[in-house]
Structure 1
Amino acid sequence: MEKSILRKKILKQRQELSELKWQTKSNLICDRLISSPLFLQSNTIFAYFSFRKEVDLNPLFSLNKQWAFPRCVNKSLVWHLWQPGDSLIKDKYGIPTPLESAPIVEALSADLILIPTVACDREKYRLGYGGGFYDRLLSSSQCCGITTIGVVFDFAYLDRLPRDSWDIKLDFVCTETKFLNP
């Protein structure tokens, strides 16, 4: 199946989740992440604010970690420090982001990157929205060696995704029922 067709199908399935089911599934993923040694040992975590019923990571943000969130600048992601109570704005895509004036965090300082996905497969490849922001980030020398975890709902964890030469494999995938290692 073509990426664009698969993306539409899974996004539709995700949008059809009731608020209760979406939040319950998201909370299960957060619980699984919190119990992971990778998460527990990380100090600086790059994350994202949920958009269009992506996995909601909000329960994690009150934990004693240094959090950074992306802003889309041209074709790249710029990471800004954020803590609960800091202001957010919506970017041109409608995604909540830290203010431009928030301190910038270099990718090299991250211990862990929680990656939003539309879908992931058993080989730990991800399907995103098609903009290439995370593929460019993950292929950069700045991110070499930083652990990545794709977060995705079970129904979007598939046997095999269509892929292109530029797609980057993740280190781990976390769903509401599984934490998949290499």
Structure 2
Amino acid sequence: MEKKQLRRSLLNKRQLMLVEEWKQKSDRICTHLLTSTLFTQAKTILAYFSFRQEPDLSLLFDDSKIWGFPRCVGDSLYWHIWTPQDSLQIGVYGISEPHPHAPTIEPAEVDLIFVPCVACDYQGYRLGYGGGYYDRLLAAPEWANKTTIGIVFDFAYLPQLPIEPWDKPLSAVCTETGLIQIQN
């Protein structure tokens, strides 16, 4: 199946999840992350705010970590510090994001990145939303060696995805059934 069709099919399946099922599976993902050494040892984590029934990671967002969230500006992601006490604004794609004046995070400060995905495969490759934001981010030299965890529901964790030469595998994938570290 080509990327566009696969993306549409999986996004549709995600949208059809009942709210209770989405919440339960999101909570299980958070439990797996909370107990992983990748999470417990990280001080500064880049994450995302759930949009269109992406797995919801908000159970993790407390003051025990430094949290960074993206703002889409042009074709780049700018990362800003956010605390649960801070307000948000709605960005260009309708996604919640920090205010432009919030402090920024430098790549050297980041220990872990939670990557939103439409799907991931057993080799650690991801299918994104088609905008290339994370592809460009993860290909940049200052981000290339960061630990990355793709976050997907189990139905979107697939044996193999179509990949492009610029695709970079993730370090791990987390679904409601567990956290799988990828051997790259």
State the match for 1:87 in structure 2. Answer: 87
Render the CA deviation track for 1:117-168: whole Å, top value 9, x for unaligned.
0000000100000000001000101113210000110000001001111111
State the match for 1:150 in structure 2. Answer: 150
* CA distance in structure 2 between the aligned counterparts of 1:63 and 1:155, rounded to whole angstroms: 32
- TM-score between both structures, scaled by the size of structure 1: 0.98
1:60 maps to 2:96: no
The one-letter amino acid of 2:168's match is I
The two structures, once aligned, show a CA RMSD in angstroms of 0.8
State the match for 2:122 in structure 1. Answer: 122
* CA distance in structure 1 between the aligned counterparts of 2:121 and 2:108, rounded to whole angstroms: 27
Structure 1 gap segments, 5+ residues each: none
* CA distance in structure 1 between the aligned counterparts of 2:122 and 2:154, rounded to whole angstroms: 12
The answer (yes or no) to whether the contact 1:79–1:107 under 8 Å persists in 2 is: no
* CA distance in structure 1 between the aligned counterparts of 2:131 and 2:10, rounded to whole angstroms: 17
State the match for 2:42 in structure 1. Answer: 42
Q: How far does residue 108 in structure 1 lie from its aligned partner after superposition? A: 2.1
* CA distance in structure 2 between the aligned counterparts of 1:85 and 1:170, rounded to whole angstroms: 30
Render the CA deviation track for 1:49-96: whole Å, top value 9, x for unaligned.
001110100000025000000001111110000000201011110000
The one-letter amino acid of 1:9's match is S
Bigger CA drift: 31-40 or 135-144? 135-144
* CA distance in structure 2 between the aligned counterparts of 1:13 and 1:164, rounded to whole angstroms: 24
* CA distance in structure 2 between the aligned counterparts of 1:162 and 1:24, rounded to whole angstroms: 30
* CA distance in structure 2 between the aligned counterparts of 1:163 and 1:90, rounded to whole angstroms: 31
* CA distance in structure 1 between the aligned counterparts of 2:75 and 2:96, rounded to whole angstroms: 17
| 3-state SS, counterpart of residue 22 of structure 1 | helix
| 3-state SS, counterpart of residue 31 of structure 1 | helix
- TM-score between both structures, scaled by the size of structure 2: 0.97
Percentage of pairs with the same residue: 53
Q: How far does residue 169 in structure 1 lie from its aligned partner after superposition? A: 0.6
Provide runs of 4+ in structure 1 moved above 2 Å.
none
